[in-house]
Amino acid sequence: MFIDEADIDVAAGDGGDGAVSLRHEKFVPRGGPDGGDGARGGDVVAVADPHLRTLIDVAYHRHYRAENGGRGGPNNRRGKRGASAEVKLPVGTVITDAQDGSVIADLAQAGERVLLARGGRGGRGNAGFASATRQTPRFAEKGEPGERRRLHLELKLLADVGILGLPNVGKSSLIAKVSSARPKIADYPFTTLVPNLGVVRLEEGVSFVVADLPGLIEGAHHGAGRGHDFLRHVERTRLFIHVLDAAAPEREPLEDFTTVNRELALYREELAQRPQLVALNKMDLLPPEAMLERVEMELRGQGHEVFRISALTGEGVRLLMWRTAQLLAEAAGPAGEEMPPRVVVQPKLRRKLLVEEAGAGQFGVSGDSVERLVAMTDLDNEEAVRHLHRQLERMGVIRQLRELGAKDGDRVRIGSADLEFVE
C-alpha cells in the first residue's frame, strides 16, 4: 500500500527530578546536602531511511514517546539519561508543524537526522541549591517536561525521471518494461492510483530511478482527478518522459501534450520548463505515418526530442532509456564526493515574558523561562515556593503584577499552575 501523507504525535521524555538528601555518615557531624541532579529526558529524532518507500509504518504507528530521564539519588548520584526515540521515514519526506504549518525539515538525504522534540532538562538536586546563607536546602527541582508536538508528514518521491501523460497512454506499461516494478495495468483510465517507482539498469554503473505517476486531466492543478496526488511527486524529478498515445483515433497527441504541460505550468511554472523527452507510444498498433510525421515536426520545432516506441513489444524503448541516462549524466555534471549525512537541530523559538490582566482579580503570566521555572518547582514544598517567589522577583514578574494592581489573594496563572498572589 502506498501512503504519502500522515500525521503523528511526538513526545520527548521529561527530565528526571532532582533528589533531596542529607548525608548521614558516622563521624561526619555536618554532612550537608548531597541530593543529585535528575537526568535529561530522551529526544524524538527523525531518521531518513533509504529502505523505506512509503509512510505506511507511521500511518499505523502515530505516537512516538521517548524515555523519561532518571531521578537523582543520594551521594550526588545523577539519574540515567532517557533513551531517545527514532522515527524512521522515507527519503523525500517533508515534516511540518501541524499547528502553524511551518516546515521543520525536508529529508532529502539518506541517513539525515532531524530533532523533532527536545527532551526536558533534569531538575537540580538539593546539593545544587546549597550556599553560604542556605546551607541545608530541603527542596529540589522537578524535571522539565519534554516537548510535545503534532506533525504532518508529506512524502515527495525522489525519482530522477518522471513519466508524464494523460490516463491510459501506457505509462505503467513503460515502467514495467524498463524496470522490475509491477504496476496494475488495465485498459481503462486511472488504473494507476498511486505512483510506482522502478530502477532502470542499462549496464554496470548506469542506472536511474523512474516514477510512473498517476495520470493528469484538465484541472489537475485544482485537485481534479489525481491532481494534487500527482503533482506533489513531480516536483523533485530532474527530467520528464512525456508519453503520448499515437494510436487512439479519438485522441490528438499535440492537444494531449499541451493539456499536460498547461497543468504543470499552472501548478508551478518551473515544472513546465524542465527537460522533456517525448515518447509516441503504441507503435505496434501501426498509427498513420502522416500523423506521426506531423506531430514529430511540431514537437521538434518546440525543441523536444521525439521517440517512437511500443511499451508492449519494447520497440524503441532501449534507445529512449539510453538518451535519458545521457541527459541525466549531463545535468549532474562532474561527480563529487558523497556528502556525509546531515544532523539538523531546529532552533528553539523563545517566547518572551508577558504579564497581563485576565479579569477581575486574575492575571496571566507567559513566557518560556517563567513557565519552565514554575513547572520545575515542587509547589507542595514551602521552601521551594519561597525560592520560586524570589526568582519571580528577580525576573520582574512580581513588580509587573503590582503595577497592574495585583493584591493579596488574587489568582495568577503561569503555564498550567494556578497560584495565589502574596506580597
Per-residue pLDDT reduced to its tens digit, 34-52: 999 999 999 999 999 988 8
Segment holding 332, helix H or strand E: helix 317-332
Are 171 and 310 within one domain? Answer: yes
**Is residue 343 a part of any domain in this protein?**
no
Segment holding 394, helix H or strand E: helix 382-395
pLDDT of residue 191: 47
Query: What is the share, in percent, of the chain residues with pLDDT greater than 70?
Result: 85
**Is residue 242 a part of any domain in this protein?**
yes
pLDDT of residue 326: 93
Averaged pLDDT for residues 225-248: 76
Per-residue pLDDT reduced to its tens digit, 158-204: 778 989 888 888 888 898 899 876 655 545 444 445 677 788 889 87
Are 27 and 124 within one domain? Answer: yes
pLDDT of residue 226: 46
Are 21 and 44 within one domain? Answer: yes
User: Given a cut of 80, is residue 271 above it in pLDDT?
Assistant: yes
pLDDT of residue 1: 46
pLDDT of residue 286: 93
Are 240 and 291 within one domain? Answer: yes
Are 211 and 299 within one domain? Answer: yes
| Sheet with 362-366: strands ordered across | 354-359, 362-366, 411-414, 417-420
Are 121 and 168 within one domain? Answer: no
Find the DSSP H helices in 23-135: 56-60
Are 76 and 147 within one domain? Answer: yes
pLDDT of residue 55: 87
241-to-123, 275, 351 alpha-carbon distances in Å: 59, 9, 49
User: Given a cut of 70, is residue 217 above it in pLDDT?
Assistant: no
Averaged pLDDT for residues 283-297: 95
**Is residue 341 a part of any domain in this protein?**
no
pLDDT of residue 183: 53
Cβ contact 247:169 at 8 Å: no
pLDDT of residue 184: 53
The total of structural domains in the chain comes to: 3
**Is residue 338 a part of any domain in this protein?**
no
Q: Of 155, 173, 198, which residue is a domain's last? A: 155
**Is residue 276 a part of any domain in this protein?**
yes
pLDDT of residue 331: 74
User: Given a cut of 70, is residue 79 above it in pLDDT?
Assistant: yes
Which of 24-33, 147-156, 241-250, 347-356 is the least confident region? 24-33
Averaged pLDDT for residues 330-352: 58
Are 239 and 319 within one domain? Answer: yes
pLDDT of residue 220: 40
Is the pTM above the cut of 0.85? no
Are 129 and 167 within one domain? Answer: no
CA atoms within 13 A on the CB side of 190: 8
CATH number for the domain harbouring residue 173: 3.40.50.300
Per-residue pLDDT reduced to its tens digit, 295-338: 999 999 999 999 999 999 999 999 999 999 999 888 754 433 44
**Is residue 345 a part of any domain in this protein?**
no
CATH number for the domain harbouring residue 398: 3.30.300.350
**Is residue 109 a part of any domain in this protein?**
yes
pLDDT of residue 337: 42
If we measure between CA atoms, which residue out of 262, 236, 242, 378 comes closest to residue 320? 242
Q: Of 129, 155, 181, which residue is a domain's last? A: 155
Are 14 and 132 within one domain? Answer: yes
What is the rounded distance in angstroms from the CA atom of residue 35 to the CA atom of residue 77?
Answer: 7
pLDDT of residue 124: 96
Are 265 and 291 within one domain? Answer: yes
Per-residue pLDDT reduced to its tens digit, 87-146: 999 888 999 999 888 888 889 888 999 999 999 999 999 999 998 888 889 999 999 999
CATH number for the domain harbouring residue 136: 2.70.210.12
pLDDT of residue 230: 61
Averaged pLDDT for residues 210-228: 55
Q: How far apart are the first and last CA of the chain?
A: 63
User: Given a cut of 80, is residue 238 above it in pLDDT?
Assistant: yes
Show the domain range for 210.
161-332
Are 44 and 122 within one domain? Answer: yes
Q: Of 264, 299, 332, which residue is a domain's last? A: 332
pLDDT of residue 190: 47
**Is residue 347 a part of any domain in this protein?**
no
pLDDT of residue 354: 93
If we measure between CA atoms, which residue out of 86, 96, 93 comes closest to residue 3? 93
- Write down the mean pLDDT value for the chain: 86
